[in-house]
């Protein structure tokens, strides 16, 4: 009898060992899925650089995450002289580690100075760093894979090359286990070319594209206390963002079309004021929302974004006001 028990236990342990080996192979041998960076060259025309600047500052707002910001200042504008120099977000409540956005200036030691144009585009759309490390999905490469064309991605690269090279190493992303393992399965090669951005004349389609590329969902989706997104909570708000020096907590608004708890009762002028002045319907300043970047959207793009927000399904979720000291 004892021999049978030993054999059964041995078999079970063997199965567990095989399962563990399978998991390790999946996440550490087969992941992240990657490929060699494409041989691409960013254009140098003034038009391409201007397009890249618009995307980098006002649409994707790359510099909002990749620059040290004036924390506690409404709109969180970048620190002067540090545009694109990377950012250490510190220990964020509920985040499994320490979030850091890398330096994207042309500095050769701490920035993108030694990266090829193709490697930068691969990072933006496929979530893999130059050395093959997976990027954390807070960098919305999954969205960019289907929304950024080669032309737009290379326009961003063209503009980034014009930034002043700033020597600044914010440090590497730190992730706790098992999140550090799971993120390895997220990156994957782009399988199909992204369609061109909709024309401003197609207001609603253009607005949907902007809603995606502006990554509004990154801050405004409903989350739990561990900052994990909740099913059925798209753009319903509630995420908490502590301000530095114990100045309080900014809370992301519900931006669904719900009239009681969202922005359904906002007029178009109310929404324009959000983008241009960083104030909500009640006139209260919005500290963490990067309106200082989105305020630079063209008039047509603001109108398109407003149209897209109007069609967001209503979700009743009463969000408390931000607690600013």
* pLDDT digit string (tens) for the chain, length 325 residues: 566 565 555 555 555 554 555 444 444 444 467 788 999 999 999 999 999 999 999 999 999 999 998 877 777 889 999 999 999 988 776 677 888 999 999 999 999 999 999 999 999 999 999 998 999 888 999 999 999 999 999 999 999 999 999 999 999 988 878 777 778 777 888 888 899 999 999 999 999 999 999 999 988 999 887 677 889 999 999 988 877 667 778 899 999 999 999 999 999 999 999 999 999 998 888 878 889 899 999 999 999 999 999 999 999 999 998 887 6
Residue 144 phi/psi, 5-degree rounding, is -65, -25
Task: State the chain's maximal CA–CA distance in angstroms.
Answer: 82
Q: How far apart are CA 143 and CA 245, in angstroms?
A: 33
Q: Reduced to 3 states, what is the DSSP secondary structure of residue 6?
A: helix
Residue with tokens 């992301």, as numbered in its chain:
252
Residues in CB range of 269: below 8 A, 6 or more apart: none
Q: Domain spans of the chain?
A: 46-185, 203-324
* Reported CATH class of domain 203-324: mainly alpha
- Return the DSSP state at 223: B
Those residues with Cβ within 8 angstroms of residue 192's Cβ, 6 or more apart along the chain or in another chain: 146
pTM tops 0.75, yes or no: yes
């Amino acid at each position: 009898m004892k021999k049978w028990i030993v054999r059964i236990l041995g078999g079970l342990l063997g199965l567990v060992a095989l399962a563990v080996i399978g998991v390790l192979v999946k996440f550490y041998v087969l992941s992240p899925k990657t490929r060699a960076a494409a041989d691409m060259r960013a254009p140098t025309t003034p038009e391409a650089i201007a397009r890249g600047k618009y995307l980098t500052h006002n649409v994707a707002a790359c510099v909002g995450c990749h620059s040290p910001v004036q924390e506690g200042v409404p709109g969180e504008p970048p620190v002067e002289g540090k545009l694109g120099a990377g950012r250490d977000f510190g220990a964020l409540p509920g985040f499994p580690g320490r979030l850091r956005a890398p330096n994207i200036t042309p500095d050769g030691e701490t920035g993108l100075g030694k990266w090829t144009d193709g490697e930068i585009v691969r990072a933006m759309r496929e979530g893999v760093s130059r050395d093959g490390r997976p990027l954390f999905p807070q960098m919305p490469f999954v969205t960019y894979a289907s929304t950024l064309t080669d032309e737009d991605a290379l326009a961003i690269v063209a503009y980034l090359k014009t930034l002043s090279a700033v020597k600044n190493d914010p440090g590497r992303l730190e992730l706790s286990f098992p999140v550090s393992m799971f993120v390895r399965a997220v990156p994957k090669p782009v399988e199909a070319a992204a369609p061109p951005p909709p024309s401003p004349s197609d207001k609603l389609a253009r607005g949907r594209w902007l809603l995606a590329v502006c990554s509004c969902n990154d801050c405004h989706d409903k989350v739990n206390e561990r900052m994990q997104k909740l099913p059925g909570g798209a753009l319903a708000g509630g995420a908490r963002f502590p301000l530095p020096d114990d100045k309080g907590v900014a809370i992301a608004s519900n931006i669904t079309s719900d009239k009681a708890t969202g922005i359904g009762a906002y007029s178009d002028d109310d929404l324009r004021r959000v983008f241009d002045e960083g104030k909500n319907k009640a006139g209260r300043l919005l500290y963490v929302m990067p309106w200082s970047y989105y305020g630079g959207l063209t008039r047509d793009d603001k109108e398109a974004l407003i149209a897209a927000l109007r069609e967001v399904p209503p979700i009743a979720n009463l969000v408390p006001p931000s607690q600013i000291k």
